[in-house]
Amino acid sequence: MSKTQPIVRVAVVFHSGYGHTAKQAQAVAAGAATVTGTETQLIPVESAEASWGDLEHADAIVFGAPTYMAGPSAQFKAFQDASSRKVLATGFKWRDKIAAGFSNSGSRSGDKLATLIQIALFAAQHGMHWVNLGLPPANNSSTGSDADLNRLGFFLGAGAQSNVDQGPDVAPPESDLTTARHLGQRVALVASQFARGRVV
């Protein structure tokens, strides 16, 4: 890349107990990869211990967790807690990075908003710049449907819903994965704008 088009690194850190949120995470990364000059990395929280260095070098980190009992899963929360010692205490290393979030759950609401709010606050504690979903709500009129982009009507981040009797081969549905790809692309674009600004 030229000096005016720096490479932008987008990391997607996620937990998924049964594979559904992993599908959403893969879609976020795929969306980010559509932006020229973007390198993406998918990091399951189980691998986070080996990935603190990668996260330090990322321009943007997208955080994703399934909603379990009205908040991020315990495994994702453990990753968040570990970041206090690994990131905050060692020099506020994520300050001024781009951040965004996503969550998947069994119910259409399922209280995913609580998870997204928690993730946004977590990013704020790290001094990161939050990127919202940037889509109008959909599936909210007589002509709307579950095939709509942002069918669940989130603003803060990307939501997905996976029927609890379906595996990750079919859930969440394509509309939620397209919504996740949109978020990834938006994050990569914003990260690219920030990176160009730093060059200037």
Ligand X SMILES: Cc1cc2nc3c(=O)[nH]c(=O)nc-3n(C[C@H](O)[C@H](O)[C@H](O)COP(=O)(O)O)c2cc1C
Q: Kindly state whether residue 101 participates in binding ligand X, applying the rule CB under 6 A.
A: no
Q: Are the C-beta atoms of 54 and 18 separated by less than 8 Å?
A: no
Q: What single string gives the DSSP state of each residue in 32-84?
A: HHTSTTEEEEEEEGGGGGGTHHHHHH-SEEEEEEEEETTEE-HHHHHHHHHHI
Q: Which stretch binds ligand X (CB under 6 A): 18-26, 36-44, 141-149, 175-183?
A: 18-26
Examine residue 67 and tell whether it contacts ligand X (CB under 6 A): yes
Q: What is the largest CA-CA distance in the chain?
A: 53
The number of C-alpha atoms within 13 Å of 46 and in the hemisphere containing its C-beta is 4
75 part of the interface to ligand X, by CB under 6 A: no
Count residues near ligand X (CB under 6 A). Answer: 19
- Among 7, 164, 170, 199, contact with ligand X (rule: CB under 6 A): 164
**Cα–Cα distance measured from residue 137 to residue 31, given in angstroms and rounded to the nearest whole number:** 19
Member of 7, 19, 144, 174 binding ligand X (CB under 6 A): 19
How far is it, in rounded angstroms, from Cα 33 to Cα 188?
A: 8
In this complex, which beta carbon is closest to ligand X, that of residue 43 or of residue 195? 43
Between residues 124 and 164, which has the closer beta carbon with respect to ligand X? Answer: 164
How many Å apart are CA 108 and CA 85, to the nearest integer? 35
Only one of the segments 28-36, 44-52, 67-75, 134-142 lies at the binding site for ligand X (rule: CB under 6 A); that segment is 67-75
Residue reference for tokens 């029927």: 163
Is residue 140 a contact residue for ligand X (CB under 6 A)? no
| Residue 16 within binding range of ligand X, rule CB under 6 A | yes
**Is residue 175 a contact point for ligand X (CB under 6 A)?**
no
Residues engaged in binding ligand X (CB under 6 A) = 16-21, 66-70, 104-107, 110-111, 162, 164
